Structure 1
Amino acid sequence: MPHAPFQPLLGQQQAIELLTQAVKQNRVAPAYLFVGPDGVGRSLAARCFIEFLFASFVETKLISSLHNRLLQGNHPDVLWVEPTYQYQGQLLTAKEAGEKGVKRKAPPVIRLEQIRQITEFLGRPPLEAPRNIVVLEQAETMAEAAANALLKTLEEPGQATLILIAPTPDSVLPTLVSRCQRIPFSRLDESVLAEVLTQSGHSEVLQNPPLLSIAAGSAGSAIASYQQLQSIPPELLEAVKKAPASYRQALELAKTIDKDLDTEAQLWLVDYLQQIYWQQSYKKEIIKQLDKARKALLCYAQPRLVWECTLLSLYQQCH
């Protein structure tokens, strides 16, 4: 059976064709921008592309080992960079921060120190593969200093290829975009989304219409939403599904949300409540109020105050 690393990637034929031809014609670019919504296969495509590129340089009997090493993230010629939190002098990914129980008030970002690590990594020749590969997840989170430092690396990448993953070209510094070959990714249609969720063991998500609405054609977002849903205390979730019955309840709910949920969970809750309230009442005013809450949370406003204002407004609009 021929090696088919792109087989797990569903619904992204244009991206698969562009990347396959780049390898077959030996025209691999020094930098790519994988652009499209979160959770539609961009990271999976990066891993498949690397495997396809590296596979021609290993014996057939070692391809399975190559696949596993890439899956586990321990190939010496691949550096995978994710946004991080700064905590007690350490840089922690979102997963690591969660495992350590770090309370996260602001979203993670790609930092200047991480770009320096990339420069150091690319300063040596590849050990096993034809080239070094660097993948930057959520490249849109780079601060300007980090983006400018990366620009210098893109100008002289050496024996390497960089893959930037971002939602839109506009979310990344234009000078970076201009140095990358763009690979487009699209939202999944209903049938492909259902297939991805079923194959990945998340078919239960298909029974939850609000989660599918939030996902909007993104399998990753659907799965993340389901996991977030499971992490929120059931009594809190039930309480916020309907408008507060009094000013006092609104204030108590705001206090509980601030105490029990980190910023990421609060932002998800805003999206979830928009779907719930829209299905209940179809009131645009409520959706707009929740939009204001999201913007305030993203601007690092005091979360308890944001929720107090939001829930009090919901009480006034629904009574």
Structure 2
Amino acid sequence: MENFIVSARKYRPVTFESVVGQQHITNTLKNAIKNNQLAQAFLFCGPRGVGKTTCARILAKTINCQNLSPNIEPCGVCESCLSFQNGNSFSIHELDAASNNSVDDIRSLIEQVRIPPQSGKYKIYIIDEIHMLSQAAFNAFLKTLEEPPSYAIFILATTEKHKILPTILSRCQIFDFNRIRVEDMASHLASIADKEDIAFDNDGLHLIAQKADGGLRDALSMFDQIASFSNRNITYKAVIDNLNILDYDYYFKLTDFLLKENVAQTLVIFDDILANGFDGNNFIIGLASHFRNLLVGKDPTTLKLLEVSEGIRQKYLQQSQATSASFLLSALNIANQCDLNYKQSKNQRLQVEMALIKMCHIASAINLVNLPVSNNDSERDLKKKPDTLISETESPKQNVENTTPKTSVTSNEGIENQPLKKENDGPASGDSEAADLPVEPKAVPVEKPKVTMPKPGLVTSSLIPNLNDLTVKSEVAESDEPQYISGDAKNAFSNDDFLKLWHEYASKSKAAAKLNLFTVMTSNPPVLLPDWKIEVIIENKIQQDLLILEKIDLLNFLRVELKNFSIDIVPKQAEQTTKRRLYTSNEKYQHMVEKNPALEEFRRHFNLGIE
């Protein structure tokens, strides 16, 4: 059986033109070769599988090519190109720094650099994973990297530029490789599929490119895997089955049920996803990405940001028109919060289900907020009652027709003579039809004040309550509610009553854990002064500030209980009494010198100190 070569090796680019998605780097390198402006060291940085080592090999082969094409590409037929392709070139050396990272390996490399090339113009060293070198190896490499021989060129490659010493970075020309775009990757996979006679559909190739996350080598590995799985027929269904990817249709159906507020079907779909072996965290992340794509797809100018196939893009465009931006933003916020709390949650499935239930009710919440509220609804209801309102459009001389069957008023004189018909009144004379109708008892208002009919000739646009009824109701309400004392009240009270309330408030403060206030109120008894002033002794600034903070509540309590709103609190600073303290040695000595001055002369004579 013929040996199989994976697509990542079989279709590895051999010219600058065949490099996928890195035109900004290949054009720069070609111009440098054309203008003979090659640096002594290059550093290629970027994610895995984007072409760093491939470009390094193409650059090395192109530099030593003896027959460059007009577009600065290696010929592939000269002695240098053939020896490089066969792997026996003496001018191009590759070193894996991951396995040769000691200082001895770098010293051996430096010894080889001193030897001129046997064939070709340059001796090129490609060092892959340069960030794996040890600190000593980096230091040993510095001098040679900065001032190599004229025939030596170093091409370094790494996926982690931040781990390389700044002194190394400053000696290299740095090229940052980009992640390969999904469109470029899908197009490259399609060309390989045509060469290999593999059937495919564009949706499947786009899904492989998205799963590769910008790395072409990963995409080619998945391409080979799915080609074997599907018997050389790469379809969208084969890709999602083999790579264990959540189908777009799940998210589209789920969004439709969320918009319809169908909680049951939403939870059923989530259960089906879990039954297929998918993780809840991956599901919620994918759902958030789906909402993001819908938000992006609402504007034609941002539709190109969707890295999906044309068929899926049209689905996004169609569903984005059926969803509002407010719904998508709210759903994104809920999904993001669920993603943050997922790992810390004890019941992770419930965490996702609660997020889905919240999303189902977003539409109702938005409609409730946008629901128009009319202030005239109650007025419309009241206008139907003839005993409460007169329409603004009615004039005094217009006929007024009562909507109730009990009475009929045809003129303003009728209103004056018969303002309201009482319950025990019979029908008007001559009104036989009204007399035959049963008289309905009039409802007695209990909660609302009675509204009287205004005089004819007056037009009103609001309800005018009966002041007598309001007075009666206010008196009834006052009997149930707490009594409030007038601000001018100055009832007299005794000192004992005052002290009793004072200590009662202090006890409440102690029960409320206000121990400092309790100390201020009980350490020094308050003194009742003339004009209802209360003098409180305070000992320091802290007690004064504490009393000021509590003064309002304390005064309200005393004024209401004693029915005297002239009560006021006056803080008074306690008199500072001189307290006895211990004398220092110096103070004791000065006191002794005052009594016997010869003691100072004695101390000086013998040069004594004071302890």
Fold in common (TM above 0.5): yes
Q: Matches of 1:39 and 1:7 in 2, distance apart?
A: 17
Deviation at 1:151, TM superposition (A): 1.3
2:163 is the alignment partner of 1:171: yes
Q: Matches of 1:175 and 1:26 in 2, distance apart?
A: 25
- Asked if the contact 2:106/2:140 (under 8 Å) is kept, the reply is yes
> Which amino acid in the other structure matches residue 317 of structure 1?
Q
Aligned positions of 1:50-199 closer than 5 A: 50-56=60-66, 63=77, 66-85=80-99, 110-158=101-149, 159-167=151-159, 169-199=161-191
Q: Runs of 5+ in structure 1 lacking a partner?
A: 86-90, 92-109, 231-237, 242-274, 290-312
User: Hey, what does 1:235 align to over in structure 2?
Assistant: none
2:218 is the alignment partner of 1:221: yes
User: Hey, what does 1:6 align to over in structure 2?
Assistant: 16
- Bigger RCO of structures 1 and 2 (CA < 8 A, at least 6 apart): 1
Partner of 2:77: helix, strand, or coil?
helix
The worse-fitting range, judged by mean Cα deviation, of 32-41 and 68-77 is: 68-77
Q: Matches of 1:153 and 1:38 in 2, distance apart?
A: 28
User: Hey, what does 2:511 align to over in structure 1?
Assistant: none
State how many pairs are aligned.
228
Alignment CA distance shift 1:123-1:57 (3 Å):
farther
> Which amino acid in the other structure matches residue 42 of structure 1?
K
User: Hey, what does 2:47 align to over in structure 1?
Assistant: 37
Deviation at 1:199, TM superposition (A): 4.6
> Which amino acid in the other structure matches residue 348 of structure 2?
Q
> Which amino acid in the other structure matches residue 217 of structure 1?
G
User: Hey, what does 1:280 align to over in structure 2?
Assistant: 283
Q: Matches of 2:345 and 2:187 in 1, distance apart?
A: 38
Deviation at 1:198, TM superposition (A): 4.2
Cα deviation code 1:201-254 (max 9, x no counterpart): 698898488864553211123345778999xxxxxxx9xx8xxxxxxxxxxxxx
Deviation at 1:192, TM superposition (A): 1.1
Alignment CA distance shift 1:209-1:63 (3 Å):
closer
TM-score of the two chains, using structure 2 as the length reference = 0.33
Deviation at 1:168, TM superposition (A): 5.1
The worse-fitting range, judged by mean Cα deviation, of 41-50 and 55-64 is: 55-64
- Asked if the contact 1:210/1:276 (under 8 Å) is kept, the reply is no
Alignment CA distance shift 1:42-1:281 (3 Å):
same
Deviation at 1:113, TM superposition (A): 3.6
> Which amino acid in the other structure matches residue 71 of structure 1?
Q
User: Hey, what does 1:25 align to over in structure 2?
Assistant: 35
TM-score of the two chains, using structure 1 as the length reference = 0.59
Q: Matches of 1:314 and 1:121 in 2, distance apart?
A: 59
Q: Matches of 2:54 and 2:85 in 1, distance apart?
A: 10
Alignment CA distance shift 1:151-1:197 (3 Å):
farther
Alignment CA distance shift 1:75-1:31 (3 Å):
same
- Asked if the contact 2:96/2:127 (under 8 Å) is kept, the reply is yes
Deviation at 1:150, TM superposition (A): 1.7
- Asked if the contact 1:40/1:218 (under 8 Å) is kept, the reply is yes
Q: Matches of 2:225 and 2:141 in 1, distance apart?
A: 33
Q: Matches of 1:229 and 1:143 in 2, distance apart?
A: 40
- Asked if the contact 1:197/1:219 (under 8 Å) is kept, the reply is no
Cα deviation code 1:60-90 (max 9, x no counterpart): 98735543432343210111111445xxxxx
Q: Point out the structure with the larger helix share.
A: 1
User: Hey, what does 1:317 align to over in structure 2?
Assistant: 348
- Asked if the contact 2:63/2:122 (under 8 Å) is kept, the reply is no
- Asked if the contact 2:50/2:178 (under 8 Å) is kept, the reply is yes
Q: Matches of 1:66 and 1:314 in 2, distance apart?
A: 62
Partner of 2:111: helix, strand, or coil?
helix
Q: Runs of 5+ in structure 2 lacking a partner?
A: 1-13, 228-240, 245-277, 286-337, 351-611
- Asked if the contact 2:96/2:129 (under 8 Å) is kept, the reply is yes
Deviation at 1:284, TM superposition (A): 2.4
Alignment CA distance shift 1:199-1:226 (3 Å):
closer
Structure exhibiting the larger radius of gyration computed from Cα positions: 2
